[in-house]
Amino acid sequence: MVEAAAPAPAGALWSLHETAFTAGDRAILSPLTLGLPAGRVYGLIGPNGSGKSTLLKMLARQIAPTGGAIRFDGRPLTAWTGRAFAREVAYMPQFMPASDGMNVRELVSLGRYPWHGALGRFTAEDEARVEAAIQRTGLSAFRDRAVDSLSGGERQRAWLALMLAQGARCLLLDEPTSALDIAHQMEVLAILRELGDEAGTGAEGGAMTVIVILHDINLAARTCDGLLALRGGRLIAQGPCGEIMQPENLRAIYGLDMGVMAHPVSGAPMSYVL
């Protein structure tokens, strides 16, 4: 097993120091020290109630940690102003709110708020970014459709397009595939994978950093560069997919006897319940 409490490497995009979250006297997340370098796709896995969403929400500044500190790009999260942070980090909650009757283009343009603010002009640059995000998620044909009238997969892609239009270099996604069938899951995850591969999507010519909560361990292993496994509010394993996808690790994470085999075509590790 990979040791969890490795010191945070210098220059990591995200660095957590003794970050903890307690509700009342219940520890949702035990003190966690962790560094995540930029330009990778990280999968956050673990059973229900293991603290994945809490961790992601703290990274997204949706909730404040009750102990310790989080730094993004070397600066404490509390030092960022709202819009400056939103230009760097985009967050998609687990449940999408109703979209208030907007069509796809209108929804995606909201992603430009961190750049133009309440009163700034909606520039040609904004327009181009919105258009690029719509293209990227394959929604060109749905540009003028009401978001509420789209299917689950299309709606998820519309929200993803909003995040892309935000121009952030880090995406945080809380179970973006939970309500989707397998084909639509693959669609969304393929976009995330591409973002992680492509130079120029993130900052300084590097690839985008993505942190995504996924329930399906096989999809996570297929999509991500590295996995972070939580259980009972503790980080119990961290490392490249191949290292995490071992029977003893999977038992530690899920409390279930599982085996691992190679994907018949790609050779990537796949787990199965024994």
Partner 1 sequence: MAELALPRPTGMRPLPFGLALSALGLGLFALVLMRRPDLPGAAFDLDELLLWHSLLPRAATALLAGAALGLSGALLQRVLRNPIADPSTLGIAAGAQLALTLALAFAPALLALSREGTAFAGGVAAVALVLALSARRGFEPVTLVVAGMTLSLMAGALSAALILVRGDYVFALFIWGAGSLHQQNWEPAQLIGTRLALAAGATFLLRRPLGLMALDDAGARSLGMAVQGMRLAVIAVAVALAASVVSEVGVIGFVGLAAPALARVAGARRPDAVLLAAPLIGALLLWITDSLVQLTAGNGGDLIPTGAAVGLLGGPLLLWLLPRLRAAAPPLSVPATPRRRWRRPGRALAGLAVAALLAGLFALVAGRDLDGWALATGPLLTELLAFRAPRVVAAAAAGGLLGAAGAIMQKLTGNPLAGPEVLGVSAGAGVGLAAALLLAPDAGPGLLLAASAGGALGALLLVLAIAAATGFGAEKLLLAGIALGCMALAILSAFFAAGGPGSFLLLAWMAGTTDRVDLMQAAILAACALLLLLPVALAGRWLSLLPLGAGVAGSLGLRVAASQLLLTLLAAAMTGVAAFFVGPLSLVGLIGPHLARQLGLNRGAVFVFASALIGALVLLLADWLARMVAFPYQLPTGLLAALVGGPYLIWLLQRGDRHG
Amino acid at 220: A
Going from the C-alpha of 144 to that of each of 24, 101, 127, 139, 157, the distances in angstroms are 46, 11, 15, 10, 14
- For partner 1 (CB under 8 A), the number of binding residues is 35
- Residue of 53, 99, 209, 223 that binds partner 1 (CB under 8 A): 99
Nearer residue to partner 1 within complex by CB, 89 or 258: 89
Strand order in the sheet with 26-36: 26-36, 14-23, 67-72, 75-76
Nearer residue to partner 1 within complex by CB, 150 or 217: 150
Identify the bridge partners of residue 237 per DSSP, sorted by sequence position.
229
- Residue of 3, 24, 101, 266 that binds partner 1 (CB under 8 A): 101
- Structure tokens of 47? 């059973």
Nearer residue to partner 1 within complex by CB, 14 or 113: 113
- Residue of 3, 25, 100, 204 that binds partner 1 (CB under 8 A): 100
Tell me how far, at minimum, the Cβ of 106 lies from partner 1, in Å.
Answer: 7
Distance CA 4, CA 228 (A): 9
Of residues 228-267, those binding partner 1 (CB under 8 A): none
Nearer residue to partner 1 within complex by CB, 27 or 146: 146
Q: Is 75 in the site for partner 1 (CB under 8 A)?
A: no
Distance CA 57, CA 93 (A): 8
Q: Is 98 in the site for partner 1 (CB under 8 A)?
A: yes
Of residues 139-178, those binding partner 1 (CB under 8 A): 144, 146, 148-149, 166
Cα–Cα nearest to 102, from 160, 146, 150: 146
- Contact status, residue 255 vs residue 50, Cβ threshold 8 Å: no
Nearer residue to partner 1 within complex by CB, 56 or 237: 56
- Residue of 60, 158, 210, 227 that binds partner 1 (CB under 8 A): 60
- Contact string 115-134 vs partner 1 (x = CB under 8 A): -xxxx---------------
Beta strands in the chain, from DSSP E residues, in sequence order: 14-23, 26-36, 41-45, 67-72, 75-76, 89-92, 170-174, 209-213, 226-231, 234-240, 258-262, 269-273
Nearer residue to partner 1 within complex by CB, 10 or 119: 119
Distance CA 88, CA 53 (A): 20
Interface with partner 1 (CB under 8 A): 60-62, 81-87, 89-91, 93, 97-103, 106, 110-111, 113-114, 116-119, 144, 146, 148-149, 166
